[in-house]
Amino acid sequence: MAKKKNRAMINWLMTIIISLMIVLVFTMFVRPSIAKGKTFYPILGENDYVLMNNMPYVFSQPQYNDIIILKSSLLSIDGSKRDLVKKIIGLPGDKIEIKDGKFYRNDVFIKADVSPDEKIQSMNPLVIAENKVFVLGDEHIKSHDSKDIPFGEVLMEDIKGKIIIRLFPINQMGYIR
């Protein structure tokens, strides 16, 4: 009888330890987050619950159109630093330019989902430095992003993660591409 109790206790203990290890490993690579505001509508909606890959560029390189969460120096209403959601449109070595309200990467026009009503200010050609990316927000005039002088290119180390899956709302659950 005592052996059965000991065996049952060991089984419960092993189950708890293994469960904790799985949770720790999972949270090391993936973290839940909430998209605040109307960030990248219709790709993301207000208060969408998403999963973010915490280590997206450890084993791979950033890709065009990756939607990322990055650290910023901007402050929220409560005084804490805000994380921002942006889309990568320029990689190290790319030449980015804005002419007549249109975005060009390496002298080729790229569709940047700009509303015809938006009047984007021209930007001289900029070659993206090593270990940096060029990002855009979804509202190009209002967004703080790489086209703004104080914001500029984003260091790879400031990227907190890449949004990979929308979990909520349930009817829109799926991979973010």
Give the pLDDT means over successive 10-residue stretches in the chain (177 positions): 78 91 81 72 76 83 89 73 85 91 88 62 87 82 70 86 85 80
Only one residue has tokens 């208060």, namely 47
List CB contacts of 138: < 8 A, sequence separation 6 or more. 38, 39, 40, 41, 87, 113
CA separation, residue 38 to residues 46, 124, 138, 139 (Å): 5, 29, 9, 10
CA distance 86 to 78: 22
Domain with 122 in it: what CATH number? 2.10.109.10
Q: What's the total number of domains in the chain?
A: 1
Residue 149 DSSP SS3: coil
Tell me what pLDDT residue 118 has: 60
Residue 6 is predicted with a pLDDT of: 81
In a domain, 8, yes or no: no
In terms of residue numbers, what domain contains 82? 31-175
Which of the 8 DSSP states describes residue 157? Answer: G
pTM: 0.77
Identify whether 147 is part of a domain: yes
Asked if 92 contacts 61 with a C-beta cutoff of 8 angstroms, the reply is no
pLDDT of amino acid 124: 86
Position 43 in a domain: yes
Mention every residue, 6+ apart, whose C-beta is less than 8 A from residue 9.
none
**19 lies in a domain?**
no
Q: Is residue 23 one of the residues assigned to a domain?
A: no
Residue 4 lies in a domain: no
* 23 phi/psi in degrees, rounded to 5: -65, -45
Judge whether 24 lies within some domain: no
- Domain membership of residue 17 (yes or no) is no
So what's the pLDDT on residue 105? 93
> Rounded to an integer, what distance in angstroms lies between the CA atom of residue 97 and that of residue 100?
10
